[in-house]
Structure 1
Amino acid sequence: MTGAAAALTLGSVTFASPAGAADGDQETQTLRGTLPTGSPDFVYVPVEVPSGVREIRVAYTYDRPSVPAGTAGNALDIGIFDERGTELGGKGFRGWSGGARTEFFLRADDATPGYLAGPVREGTWHIALGPYTVSPQGLSYEITITLTYGEPGAAVRPAYPPSRAKGRGRDWYRGDCHLHSWYSDGRRTPAEIAALARAAGLDFINSSEHNTHAAHAHWAPEAGEDLLIMLGEEVTTRNGHVVALGTDPGTFVDWRYRARDNRFGRFARQIRRAGGLVVPAHPHATCIGCNWKFGFGEADAVEVWNGPYTPDDEVSLADWDSMLVASVRGGGREWIPAMGNSDAHRDPDVIGLPQTVVLADDLTREAIQEGIRAGRSYVAESKNVSLTFTASGGRGQHAGIGERLEAAGDTPVTVRLEVTGAPRCTVRLVTDQGVLFTSAPLPVAGSGVVEWRTTPAYAAYVRAEVRHEAAAGPLPGALAAFTNPIFLGRS
């Protein structure tokens, strides 16, 4: 047991003494086993690595028998820890590919994407298996481990992208903070992602591979004055996923725990100590292990819109709005801002669908994070959609997205939304009572201005939604954009 998620450690795999091994000599061992239904979350295979090893290579296969309808089949993830051990916190972590690869290698000068290059030192390494789902018949696996002897290559010093780009001063900046490359289960290279981000009109992106920081050292060539590249991770637990947004280069965040293990707070604090934001991702996604179960007490923001707009995003939006209603009981001081990201993995996933548009003092990691944390942002489906959302009262009072209009309860307040790039869309203004205003469809040109009048006594906050035409029935159409709220009244 690891003290966190349930784990099982198997018997060791031992290699012969390297005495007399010539440069390039190899040794291979193969082991087989079967995991039953209800296996622990992690199964560790100790590997006794002798001295003089230049490279370790691991390949694996497992069976995929037919299962009854509605029953999960076999899925087995894999990664590796070095001689520093498997203790929760990741000191010995050397890589994770989940189920995206059937083999990987590590050596001093290179490693498979998702894994960390570095010396293969003598000691007990551990192959980490993650039986994500196990069929009723069990999961039979085969692992082949190959050691290559010889002098290690020269270690490569990591180079990281800068934490600032050439901004426009205080302005609205567009970004996508949930993306996957071939360093986890994506299919695009960092260069391809950066090119698509620029084409989507983005000013910043965030690297967020599943359970590995191996991509961090490979983004520097793609950064430029026009594109800020932040570094992070998608921490992919069995009880939900969280984006570590904009952490210090080289930060690894462990994922081997469930909500019942009471470990998440420790790692949320680690993300913040490393300069990052804690952002629960797609909290109502329907995939196994994707639904968020850790609560929102540690969240700096929440990903309400993930990729093309779907019913689970609608549920996330409603859930977030309920949290806003709860927050106004405390004067709106503890509310959690919303954001949207593409979670793009491969073609035809669209980078920048959606994108978070942030009011920041400059195009730097710290300024973008501060804007997200403060809720000075809205979410749009593309670079074509732009919003200006304000509230004004008497005596020249004025507030924008994420701010508070300080006014007495009976003060007349005018809420104004300017929209461009949303043809035939409908504007809805939402308060703590629900939807209190719905506009006529915008013209084909996609631009329009909507005004609505209220008081702080009637609406504790107001936020805007821009919706496409409904497909059928009373359900609202998919979002084209939405804003964080403007709070009304005394704090």
Structure 2
Amino acid sequence: MLRGCDGQGHGAYGGGVTSASGAGAAAGGRETRTIRGTLPAGSPDHVYVPVDIPSGVREIRVAYTYDRPSVPAGTPGNALDAGLFDERGTGLGGRGFRGWSGGARTEFFVRTDDATPGYVPGPVGPGLWHIALGPYTVAPQGMSYEITVTLTYGEPGPTPEPVHPPQRAGGRGRDWYRGDCHLHSWHSDGRRTPAEIAAQARAAGLDFIHSSEHNTHASHPHWADLAGDDLLIMLGEEVTTRNGHVLALGTEPGTFVDWRHRVRDGRWAGIARDVHRAGGLVVPAHPYAPCIGCGWRFGYDEADAVEVWNGPFTPDDETAVAAWDALLAASVRKDRRWLPAMGNSDAHRPPDAVGAPQTVVLADDLTREAVLAGLRAGRSYVAESRKAALTFTATGDRGERAGIGERLRVDRDTPVTVRLEASGVPRCTVRLVTDQGVLLTGGPLPVSGSGTVEWRTTPARAAYVRAEVRHETAAGPVPGVMAALTNPILLGND
């Protein structure tokens, strides 16, 4: 039995059904069926098409197409995502989740011993499965779709036992480690294999990376052979909702985080708690990106950090940095927890460069636990590449000292020396930013790319100070493209 239905099980989005049967339940036999339906403009975020799977099915293969009518300029056309849930159902939490490819593929398969990238191999049990359709955008004329389901009968192969990368690499003890925590392989909408990403990470001088596929954890077992003493590979997901994207960063291997919710549903706080229970960090990604559904709408109460720099530095990153700085100033003035900043490449395909930018974190060792602790504490800065390196400190008049993400505990009128040492950033300008705004602009740095900037202040004048290193820009009020930026050093007693 195959029919179209919406998320409530009604037949509102179904169409005619044709069935062409092959050898049926005979070993090696195939059965092909077709479903047609139409999604109107304003359809639900997710539409579930049921598929009744009989006993003896070895493989389920799904292919789909949809129409793309012309639309007026500035009006979104049709775009349709897809995924699969097994006989355990479509309930939130993903108990029946078997994969999601978004709009990256129009065909996928699942069987016991293998699956399309982005999908989870495992038993093909009898019962009611569901093809999940996600109408990302629907043209005013609506969207007509056709789904072809091919069932192959036979004995199942063995279910692979997942093996995950180790949670420790051969580190250097307490040191600064470079990483890229937002990467996509062919297990979602990327075009690189995990092996290609790992090779590029090593070439970019990275010590750690993080797998963050859209709405699927299926890639987790495919990284184990690529880790090594020189590269820590952490696992997670980019939870891609209709109200913004968020990195579930460094969760326990095999953790799935459900994306099927909006702000209005009131489920976000509970989902964030699930990420924390799985040992991960909650990091809203590219919060001001202009793509549909990319802007972050859930707020930052549950966040552990925020990605303010995503790929090549663009105007939406500039907006993200400014908004983050406003949050930072408000938090510090009210003596509340402040939100660290991160930067990642979000690399999908050439020419996207892995490690551009990269987050450099002070961690006790090159382990998942230590890296996450450093990121959570804000002991980190963002650099455009391995060439850019910063040392940023604040020192009191009696030798008290604090670094990035730390607090210099001195009285409010105590003189403080802020010092930035930079390398790999030729002819760049240094800006020291406080809760009062930009209080020092220095440079340009020499063509060698190395230089030092010092500034004297007090906690009464600056509740915190952070550094930006920017490329040259044309004359005018607009700052140059970012080369590096730090998290703050807090000044003064609590």
Please report the TM-score for the alignment, with normalisation by the length of structure 1.
Answer: 0.97
Deviations 1:52-110 (A, max 9, x none): 00000000000111110010000000001000000011000000000000100000000
Where does residue 469 of structure 2 map in the other structure?
Answer: 466
1:416 offset after TM fit, Å? 0.2
- Residues 122-133 of structure 1 correspond to what in structure 2 (within 5 A)? 122-133=126-137
Identity %: 76
Amino acid at match of 2:134: G
Where does residue 45 of structure 2 map in the other structure?
Answer: 41
- Residues 331-480 of structure 1 correspond to what in structure 2 (within 5 A)? 331=335, 333-471=336-474, 473-480=476-483
Q: Which moved more, 1:303-312 or 1:259-268?
A: 259-268
Where does residue 110 of structure 2 map in the other structure?
Answer: 106
1:334 offset after TM fit, Å? 0.6
Q: Is the 8 A contact 2:430 2:444 kept in 1?
A: yes
Q: Is the 8 A contact 2:6 2:48 kept in 1?
A: no
Q: Is the 8 A contact 2:6 2:49 kept in 1?
A: no
SS at match of 1:110: coil
Q: Is the 8 A contact 1:15 1:48 kept in 2?
A: no
Q: Is the 8 A contact 1:78 1:97 kept in 2?
A: yes
1:21 offset after TM fit, Å? 2.5
Distance 1:294 1:12, change over 3 A: farther
Deviations 1:192-250 (A, max 9, x none): 00000000000000000000000001000100000000000000000000001000010
1:10 offset after TM fit, Å? 5.1
1:266 offset after TM fit, Å? 1.1
Amino acid at match of 2:367: T
Distance 1:137 1:468, change over 3 A: same
- Residues 208-357 of structure 1 correspond to what in structure 2 (within 5 A)? 208-331=212-335, 333-357=336-360
State yes or no: 1:151 paired with 2:155: yes
Amino acid at match of 2:200: L
Distance 1:321 1:273, change over 3 A: same
- The separation in 2 between residues aligned to 1:11 and 1:273, in whole angstroms, is 42
1:82 to 51, 74, 86: 86
Q: Is the 8 A contact 1:173 1:357 kept in 2?
A: yes
State yes or no: 1:73 paired with 2:82: no
Q: Is the 8 A contact 2:308 2:342 kept in 1?
A: yes
SS at match of 2:398: helix
- The separation in 1 between residues aligned to 2:282 and 2:18, in whole angstroms, is 41
Amino acid at match of 1:363: L
Q: Is the 8 A contact 1:9 1:46 kept in 2?
A: no
SS at match of 1:453: strand
Where does residue 185 of structure 1 map in the other structure?
Answer: 189
- The separation in 1 between residues aligned to 2:468 and 2:306, in whole angstroms, is 17
SS at match of 1:80: strand
Q: Is the 8 A contact 1:209 1:234 kept in 2?
A: yes
Distance 1:20 1:92, change over 3 A: closer
Where does residue 175 of structure 1 map in the other structure?
Answer: 179
Q: Which moved more, 1:170-179 or 1:29-38?
A: 29-38
Deviations 1:15-62 (A, max 9, x none): 899997221101111011111111110111011100000000000000
RMSD, aligned CA: 2.0
Deviations 1:266-285 (A, max 9, x none): 11111110110000000000
Q: Is the 8 A contact 1:2 1:88 kept in 2?
A: no
Distance 1:7 1:402, change over 3 A: farther
1:171 offset after TM fit, Å? 0.1
1:3 offset after TM fit, Å? 9.4
1:474 offset after TM fit, Å? 1.8
Amino acid at match of 2:216: T
Distance 1:80 1:7, change over 3 A: farther
1:328 offset after TM fit, Å? 1.3
Amino acid at match of 1:359: L
- The separation in 2 between residues aligned to 1:7 and 1:74, in whole angstroms, is 21
- The separation in 1 between residues aligned to 2:410 and 2:17, in whole angstroms, is 70
Q: Is the 8 A contact 1:184 1:209 kept in 2?
A: yes
Q: Is the 8 A contact 2:21 2:33 kept in 1?
A: no
Where does residue 36 of structure 2 map in the other structure?
Answer: 32
Q: Is the 8 A contact 2:210 2:236 kept in 1?
A: yes
- The separation in 1 between residues aligned to 2:477 and 2:326, in whole angstroms, is 21
